[in-house]
Structure 1
Amino acid sequence: MAPLYGVMPASHFVSPLCIGEPMADEILCTIQESIATLTLNRPEKRNAINSAMMEQLTRCLHELEHHSAVRVVVVRGAGTVFSAGRDLREMGQQQQSGEAPRADIVAVFHQLEALRHPTIAMVQGDALAGGCEMALHCDLRIAADTAHFGMPLARRGLMVPFALTCKLVEVIGTALTKQFLLTAQPIVASRAYEIGLVHQVVPLADLEEATYAMARSVAENAPLALQGTKTAIHRAVSQSAHIPHADLDELVEQVRHSADAREGVRAWIEKRPPVFRGV
């Protein structure tokens, strides 16, 4: 029997979102009953997050925010990977040209987190860097036992933005955040569950069924109560939003434009170990 919520070809998706505009291939959206599903759809690129994907995700989240029939949103990746993170080829081109990114990935994640509907990340494979952060900005996370989570930015000569560092500290604590970011080593799903990074781990074959069972259990609750509860929880843990961090934002940009960052991205593209020089 085919899964009720299987990923179908884009032409089979029917959605009231983005009316008047063609749906970009990078994001697929479907709504069935009260459950919306957003699918990152670049499986041939390991669902790497490029500017077009961020722009489309921004529009879809905005319209889902005002969609009265939706009570819960599932975020998933097409293919075998949730997301490998930011598109480093696009980033490399921007580094070479001096072009500023068209979309702010931190702003997209904040929009996802602030969505009034509860969100569930369904992680079937690798969730790395921006892919890991996207999952972290969902309210609930369920992973296949084959999934891996990692923040390998330091291996690319890059630095995690302050707001995203705060999210990691919020979810797994200071000590584990230091280990996660400073070693840049990925962890398996079972370890992610042990440290509280995910809420549930199931066999890959059961992931879709378990995810939508979780979604239905959320959708059965009173929507105003869900929205109010989500707002209260976010306010309880939002102290970091009031910490001045302009200097850290500037540092992130300095690191992003460093020779080491260019070397890290270039080495990844050329499939070789990077040679960092601290400049």
Structure 2
Amino acid sequence: MTEAPPVLVSREGPVVHVTLNRPTRRNAIGGGMGEALDALLEELRGDSTARVVVLRGAGGHFCAGLDLKEVAASPDAQQARNRAIGARYLALSELPQVVIAAVEGAAHAGGLGFVCAADIAFAASDARFAAPEVRRGLVPAQILPWLVRRMGRPQAARLVLEGSVIDAPAAFRRGLVHEVAPDRAGLDALVAATLREVTQGAPLALAETKALLRALGPVSPDGYAEAGAASFGRTANGPEAREGIAAFREKRKPNWA
């Protein structure tokens, strides 16, 4: 049996629909998903006929973050992976197309990076958001600048230090998403309405407007990406991460809780 691709892509005129497709893992980043996204983002960067990208997850979840099966690796491999994750969020943000995130179910850890790197984010009422890294003995290194940009530092600090799950209304109040729909049909309606509005804009003008938004300031200061990747690597190789990940898999509290 042929294994399903980790990212599905379809097109309706100028709209590119991108679906993260590892539903049995709640679309966790792994199994070639990151590499497939990187190739797609490179392709979209030079596609002048595409005007909007809609990002979703398959099977009722958006993205549960990095697949914890792939956390363990050699220090060099970890550092390369962590750099790639940070670069992926930047590439998504810098696309000339307008990026819309449509969130159902889990949007945790690295999944939050995709939500915040998008230009516009909508959520169904069943969406749940969390940055649980500290509860796993890890750090939210790659997503932190994007959370701060979207939510502001005080709200981002609360989210990453508490590490708890928040629901869609709380995500709206804290600035993570722009609107909340009652269900999947309502989420689709929000996306469709925004597609109608955005496609009234001239393609070059939209791309230039996004460039001006980026020119207002970088997402993170020089050197942060490398420091963040190194910080994640240090914690991932430590005893807290081993205990935190084991506790998560065994559905128990870690020994420090």
Normalising to structure 1: TM-score of the pair?
A: 0.83
**Pairing 1:155-170 to 2, within 5 Å after superposition:** 155-161=135-141, 164-170=143-149
Q: 1:183 aligns with which of 162, 181, 193?
A: 162
Q: Give me the whole-angstrom Cα distance separating, in 1, the residues matched to 2:67 and 2:219.
A: 31
Please list, as runs of the form range in 1=range in 2, the aligned pairs for 1:123-162 lying within 5 A after superposition: 123-161=103-141
Q: Single out whichever of 126-135 and 237-246 deviates more from structure 2.
A: 237-246
One-letter code aligned to 2:149: E
CA apart distance, 1:247: 4.5
Q: Give the Cα–Cα distance (whole angstroms) in 1 for the partners of residues 8 and 53 of structure 2.
A: 13
Is the alpha carbon distance of 1:128 and 1:245 closer, same or farther for their aligned partners in structure 2, counting shifts above 3 Å? closer
- Secondary structure of 1:255's partner? helix
Which position in structure 1 is the counterpart of 2:181?
Answer: 202
Q: Assess if the C-alpha contact under 8 Å between 1:37 and 1:74 holds in 2.
A: yes
Cα drift, residue 237 of structure 1: 3.2
C-alpha separation in 1, matches of 2:228 and 2:64: 25
Instruction: Find the partner of 2:222 among 226, 233, 242.
Output: 242
Shift of 1:216: 2.8
- How far is 1:127 from its partner? 0.5
Question: Cα distance, 1:148 vs. partner?
Answer: 1.1
Residue 100 of structure 1 aligns to which amino acid in structure 2? A
Cα pair 1:125 1:148 within 8 Å, conserved: yes
Q: C-alpha deviations, 1:132-185, integer Å up to 9, x for none?
A: 111111110011111111100111110011x53222122112211111011101
Letter in 2 for 1:66: G
The percent identity for this pair of structures is 36
Q: CA RMSD in A?
A: 2.2
| 1:70 alignment partner in structure 2 | 50
1:250, distance to aligned residue in structure 2 (A): 2.8
C-alpha distance in structure 2 between counterparts of 1:74 and 1:244, whole Å: 28
The runs of 4+ residues in structure 1 deviating greater than 6 Å are none
What stretches of structure 1 of length at least 5 have no aligned partner?
A: 1-21
DSSP 3-state at the match of 1:196? coil
- Is the partner of 1:201 in helix, strand or coil? strand
1:114 pairs with 2:94 = yes
Bigger radius of gyration, 1 or 2? 1
Where 1:234 maps in the other structure, the secondary structure is helix
- Does residue 229 (structure 1) correspond to residue 209 (structure 2)? The answer is yes
Q: Distance in 2 between matches of 1:233 and 1:56?
A: 27
The separation in 2 between residues aligned to 1:23 and 1:144, in whole angstroms, is 29
